[in-house]
């Protein structure tokens, strides 16, 4: 905490600042205008605020009067236009008092005009001409600028190239006008050069780097940096030619490391090393900024390089917090506003201490923060030419006016661009202005006490520490209360995670050529029959040879399981669950090794493989807890004089027949469910993923599972498949795979064989023909990449994958243009390279199956995209085919590969009919911003798992129990509260407790009725 004298000076300067702008308010809070009235309403009504921001977000997509009016009613009334809040209709009377005679169309136009006017308040223009005109006016008012082109959500390389060209056009336009600009000068000081304030270029641009490369990924820092640099160099070269300055903006955390590296590369390149006008943004709300700032200052010092740093507090707090909590990661931002304010002051002081090397750009509207910077500059004797202040265009006009009066050096951050991408920026600004902890809101709308506003944030923290817990703590409390929490998914912003994959892949490659045995009754069993397992990205790479079980080995496994059944069945549920918890710990410890096997054996990408292991851990943890819950006998009924208890027992021996596409997760899920419910297991992995399957042997061995409870029997289906299914000692069969095999299993299991003493239970998940609907108001920045991921993640080899996308007429062309360009932009190659979006299919047979399906698709529709693929390996081309109708084979038959059928619907009802027109009912998705249509989808889109405004793969245990109906399978949802019940038989015992008219005294509720 600063000394008392310093704090006194900061408060005094802050009071002086407030006094100089007394009676003024930012226009965004001016209730004499529509924007001010709406903002005031939003701050008083949280529901209205949410609906307003969502409506602002969708507005640019509403291109017809009907669509506009429908959304107005859906967002703001639900009853009709008569119930729309008066604040939205304010101003109509001023237009002649004719509102009552206007139809809904007129009101819609009014609301659109007002919101577009609100957007223009924060954006200097929609095109280059408007932007240059606004910038000239800004300079005439005595402010410098940095200009930023909106539209950073690029989903393809074509869009990224267009974004770069947008900057080149802007710079060309500024080149023609900047020579006429007079340099800004400090009050009372004659200009000594053609530079603003005597030291900084007149032309200044900011850029969102990720927009320059559509394939930017946290997992692939090097390719991301190289991809961005290729388009950033020409921009910076032009900036330098014009004598300007460039600032590289910091975006969300996933791009932070690449952005820092990008800045360092550009700053040290020979061409630019002697040009000092390059800055980078740092965000004080990130916990890691202390370390990042220290490293950056050291880096610049060691290379004797002058740099610029714009320090801001950060604009993505909600997003970073929600993403972290959803994925089980530590929250990366400070969770209390005073923590961020304190970090900002800490960072500002560190930067100003190095003022001879670092040009400081203080980005804040907070008068306390501004006063602290000014007093720190005074203490450290920082010359005026070594720092400036920056505020956002359209916000905090009194603050920027007061700043100009006391510091002169004020730069406005000026976004420009079309309203479509501009709305996302507007929503961020509205959130900023209306947040309860917003300094501007507290200062100008809430009229908060000045002493509180100028209080040292460390003192504020001390005062508030007893208040509400952080989101991170709240999430932890919920997880503890629920008794289960998902394993965190992989976070590639952590360098150790990125380094671990190549190391693990290299380690398991040292085992190539090994022969892998069966595992029966706690012992390894070697057979003469073995098949090779190869890397689908390079079939010449033999990973190992897997022994195959025949009928003799199946009999041995059944005998072992039969011997283990009585004692394992009678082991307490808690003790059985304990083995699963041990196995989960083992999986966590070996997560990268278990992932690496999937990368090589089935061609998964790093994240796909890691998340598969995480799901396996979730199954172990969740089913263990569920068995403990179900293992407690339940008292049934409340009649006096008797006790009724319901409880469960194991069914018998389980045959688990697992797939290759989720080779660890689904295997572990089915096996652990059987084991924890007391059923010994004969496990048959897919022949395409038997090495991954052997991981279960190692996991359960290390966990100490008793011999005979788990038996690993890979084998040829033609030799031992039917024999296992039909064997009279098998009580239940858990299967995941194709519908043809699933139906065959059910048929075989339905027949009773000699020696069989119970009906067999079949639990089968058998695939899907899943559809995603794109409504006419869908956010294509989200829909396009999510459809691409749903369709082609792991090469479309997921039962949940999107194989049909159904697009409404009104948005069809826009969607297809962006989807086509996005598909042409992704990288294809081996999954072990982190930059590749798509890899090979699982084997040569699958490759031929997909190629045959593509041939059918070519006959039925029009190929929109067919990517070139590497010649070596089991690659099938990424294919998107248009013109598919519901009756086509391509729309009905499961392909299980990288083929996406595009279907056109005239309206949302027809789209739902198309989506439901399938014998499968597994997953589905809808991208829409219409509340009524989302509700219609909830009711009428009949699938097991429906996803609204997100991809339709990646269900998480407990959060999204997974499974479908119709021909997608039989049984309860995996990872849900009913799943274990399928592996057990319920029993009820009734005891008469009355003896000669006497019964034990019961609690009061047992006598009710």
**Residue 860 contacts residue 827 (beta carbons within 8 Å):** no
For residue 521, CA distances in Å to 556, 687, 697, 710, 908 come to 8, 21, 11, 7, 57
Q: Is 837 helix (H, G, I), strand (E, B) or coil?
A: coil
3-state secondary structure 741-755: HHHHHHHHHCCCCCC
Paired residues of 538 in beta bridges: 535
For residue 972, give every residue at least 6 positions away whose Cβ sits within 8 Å of its Cβ, in sequence order, or none: 963, 978, 979, 981, 982
**Residue 310 contacts residue 281 (beta carbons within 8 Å):** yes
Q: Cα separation of 144 and 227, whole Å?
A: 31
Angle value at C-alpha 479, between 475 and 485, nearest 5 degrees: 115
For residue 71, give every residue at least 6 positions away whose Cβ sits within 8 Å of its Cβ, in sequence order, or none: 55, 58, 62, 777, 929, 930
**Residue 333 contacts residue 320 (beta carbons within 8 Å):** yes
Rounded to the nearest 10 degrees, the angle between the axes of helix 46-58 and helix 34-44 is: 130
DSSP 615-669: HHHHHHHHHHHHHHHHTSPEE----TTEEEEEEEEE-SEEEEE--SSSTTHHHHH
For residue 19, give every residue at least 6 positions away whose Cβ sits within 8 Å of its Cβ, in sequence order, or none: none
Name the strand (E) or helix (H) holding 281: strand 278-283
Q: How many residues does the chain have?
A: 1009
The two tokens of residue 893 are: 């038959």
Q: Cα separation of 282 and 723, whole Å?
A: 64
The two tokens of residue 566 are: 């009585």
DSSP 547-563: E---HHHHHHHHHHHHH
Beta sheet of 634-635, edge-to-edge order: 634-635, 642-650, 984-992
The two tokens of residue 753 are: 């064989």
C-alpha closest to that of 438 among 345, 296, 326, 337: 337
**Residue 156 contacts residue 819 (beta carbons within 8 Å):** no
User: Which listed residue (455, 765, 882, 894) is catalytic?
Assistant: 765
Q: What distance lies between CA 457 and its chain's CA centroid?
A: 32
Q: What distance lies between CA 5 and its chain's CA centroid?
A: 47
DSSP 848-901: HHHHHHHHHHHHHSEEEEE----SSSS----EEEE---TTSHHHHS---SSEEE
For residue 224, give every residue at least 6 positions away whose Cβ sits within 8 Å of its Cβ, in sequence order, or none: 213, 215, 216, 217, 218, 255, 258
Q: Cα separation of 962 and 940, whole Å?
A: 19
Active site residue 802: no
For residue 592, give every residue at least 6 positions away whose Cβ sits within 8 Å of its Cβ, in sequence order, or none: 500, 501, 503, 504, 610
Q: Cα separation of 602 and 617, whole Å?
A: 20
Q: Cα separation of 190 and 471, whole Å?
A: 53
Name the strand (E) or helix (H) holding 362: strand 358-363
User: Which listed residue (799, 874, 882, 894) is catalytic?
Assistant: 799
Tokens 């002058």, residue located: 306
Tokens 């940096």, residue located: 225
Active site residue 765: yes
Residues belonging to the active site? 765, 799
């Amino acid at each position: 905490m600063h000394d008392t004298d310093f704090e006194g000076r900061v408060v005094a300067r802050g009071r002086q600042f407030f006094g100089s702008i007394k009676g003024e308010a930012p226009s965004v809070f001016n209730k004499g205008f529509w924007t001010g009235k709406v903002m005031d309403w939003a701050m008083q009504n949280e529901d209205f605020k949410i609906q307003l921001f969502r409506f602002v977000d969708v507005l640019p997509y509403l291109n017809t009067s009907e669509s506009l009016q429908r959304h107005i009613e859906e967002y703001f009334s639900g009853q009709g236009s008569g119930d729309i809040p008066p604040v939205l209709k304010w101003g109509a009377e001023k237009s002649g008092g004719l509102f009552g005679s206007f139809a809904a169309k007129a009101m819609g136009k009014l609301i659109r005009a007002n919101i577009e006017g609100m957007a223009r308040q924060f954006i200097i223009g929609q095109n280059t001409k408007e932007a240059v005109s606004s910038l000239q006016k800004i300079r005439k008012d005595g402010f410098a600028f940095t200009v930023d082109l909106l539209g950073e959500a690029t989903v393809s390389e074509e869009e990224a190239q267009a974004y770069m060209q947008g900057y080149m056009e802007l710079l060309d336009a500024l080149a023609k006008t900047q020579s006429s600009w007079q340099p800004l000068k400090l009050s009372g000081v004659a200009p000594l050069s053609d530079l603003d304030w005597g030291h900084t270029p007149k032309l200044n641009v900011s850029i969102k780097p990720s927009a320059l490369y559509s394939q930017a990924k946290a997992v692939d820092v090097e390719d991301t940096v190289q991809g961005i640099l290729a388009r950033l160099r020409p921009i910076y070269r032009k900036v330098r030619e014009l004598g300007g300055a460039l600032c590289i903006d910091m975006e969300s955390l996933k791009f932070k490391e690449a952005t820092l590296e990008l800045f360092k590369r550009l700053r040290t390149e020979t061409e630019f090393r002697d040009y000092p006008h390059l800055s980078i943004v740092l965000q004080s709300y990130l916990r890691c900024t202390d370390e990042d700032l220290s490293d950056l200052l050291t880096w610049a010092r060691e290379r004797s390089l002058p740099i610029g740093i714009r320090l801001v507090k950060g604009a993505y707090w909600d997003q970073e917090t929600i993403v972290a909590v959803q994925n089980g990661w530590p929250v990366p931002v400070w969770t209390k506003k005073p923590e961020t304010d304190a970090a900002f002051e800490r960072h500002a002081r560190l930067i100003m201490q190095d003022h001879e090397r670092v040009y400081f750009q203080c980005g804040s509207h907070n008068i306390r923060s501004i006063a602290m910077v000014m007093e720190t500059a005074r203490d450290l004797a920082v010359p005026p030419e070594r720092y400036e202040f920056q505020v956002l265009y359209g916000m905090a006009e009194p603050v920027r006016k007061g700043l100009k009066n006391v510091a002169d050096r004020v730069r406005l951050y000026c976004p420009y661009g079309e309203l479509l991408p501009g709305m996302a920026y507007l929503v961020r600004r509205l959130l900023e202005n209306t947040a309860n902890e917003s300094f501007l809101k507290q200062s100008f709308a809430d009229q908060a006490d000045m002493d509180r506003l100028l209080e040292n944030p460390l003192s504020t923290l001390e005062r508030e520490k007893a208040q509400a817990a952080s989101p991170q703590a709240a999430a932890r409390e919920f997880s503890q209360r629920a008794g289960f929490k998902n394993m965190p998914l992989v976070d590639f912003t952590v360098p150790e995670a990125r380094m671990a994959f190549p190391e693990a892949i290299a380690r398991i490659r040292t085992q190539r050529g090994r022969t892998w045995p069966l595992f029966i009754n706690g012992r390894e069993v070697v057979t003469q029959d073995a098949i090779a397992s190869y890397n689908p990205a390079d079939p010449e790479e033999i990973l190992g040879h897997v022994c195959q079980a025949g009928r003799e080995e199946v009999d041995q496994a059944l005998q072992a399981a039969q011997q283990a059944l009585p004692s394992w069945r009678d082991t307490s549920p808690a003790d059985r669950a304990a083995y699963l918890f041990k196995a989960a710990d083992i999986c966590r410890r070996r997560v990268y090794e278990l992932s690496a096997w999937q990368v090589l054996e089935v061609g998964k990408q790093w994240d796909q493989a890691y998340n598969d292991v995480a799901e396996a851990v979730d199954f172990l943890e969740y089913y263990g807890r569920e068995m403990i819950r179900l293992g407690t006998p339940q008292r049934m009924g409340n009649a006096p004089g008797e006790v009724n208890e319901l409880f469960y027992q194991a069914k018998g021996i389980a045959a688990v027949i697992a797939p290759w596409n989720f080779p660890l997760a689904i295997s572990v899920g089915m096996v652990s469910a059987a084991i924890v419910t007391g059923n010994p297991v004969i496990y048959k992995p897919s022949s395409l993923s038997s090495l991954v399957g052997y991981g279960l042997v190692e996991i359960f061995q290390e966990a100490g599972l008793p011999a005979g409870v788990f038996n690993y029997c890979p084998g040829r289906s033609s030799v031992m498949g039917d024999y296992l299914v039909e064997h009279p000692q098998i009580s239940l069969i858990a299967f995941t795979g194709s519908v043809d095999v699933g139906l065959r299993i059910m048929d075989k299991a339905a027949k009773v064989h000699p020696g069989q003493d119970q009906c067999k239970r079949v639990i089968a998940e058998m695939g899907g023909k899943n559809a995603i609907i794109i409504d006419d108001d869908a956010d294509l920045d989200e829909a396009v990449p999510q459809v691409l991921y749903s369709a082609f993640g792991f090469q479309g080899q997921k039962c949940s994958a999107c194989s049909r996308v159904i697009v409404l007429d009104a948005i069809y062309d826009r969607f297809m243009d962006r989807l086509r360009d996005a598909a042409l932009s992704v990288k294809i190659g081996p999954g072990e390279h982190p930059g590749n979006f798509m890899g090979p299919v699982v084997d040569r047979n699958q490759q031929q199956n997909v190629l045959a399906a593509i041939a059918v698709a070519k006959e039925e529709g029009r190929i929109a995209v067919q990517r070139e693929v590497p010649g070596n390996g089991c690659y099938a081309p990424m294919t998107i085919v248009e013109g598919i109708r519901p009756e086509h084979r391509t729309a009905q038959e499961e392909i299980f590969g990288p083929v996406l059928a595009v279907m056109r619907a005239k309206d949302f009802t027809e789209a739902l009919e198309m989506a439901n027109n399938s014998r499968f009912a597994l997953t589905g998705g809808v991208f829409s911003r219409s509340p009524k249509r989302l509700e219609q989808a909830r009711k009428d889109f009949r699938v097991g798992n429906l996803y609204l405004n997100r991809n339709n793969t990646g269900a998480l245990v407990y959060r999204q129990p997974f499974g479908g109906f119709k021909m997608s399978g039989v049984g309860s949802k995996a990872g849900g509260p009913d799943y274990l019940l399928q592996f057990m038989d319920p029993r009820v015992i009734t005891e008469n407790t009355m003896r000669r008219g006497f019964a034990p005294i019961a609690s009061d509720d047992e006598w009710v009725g």
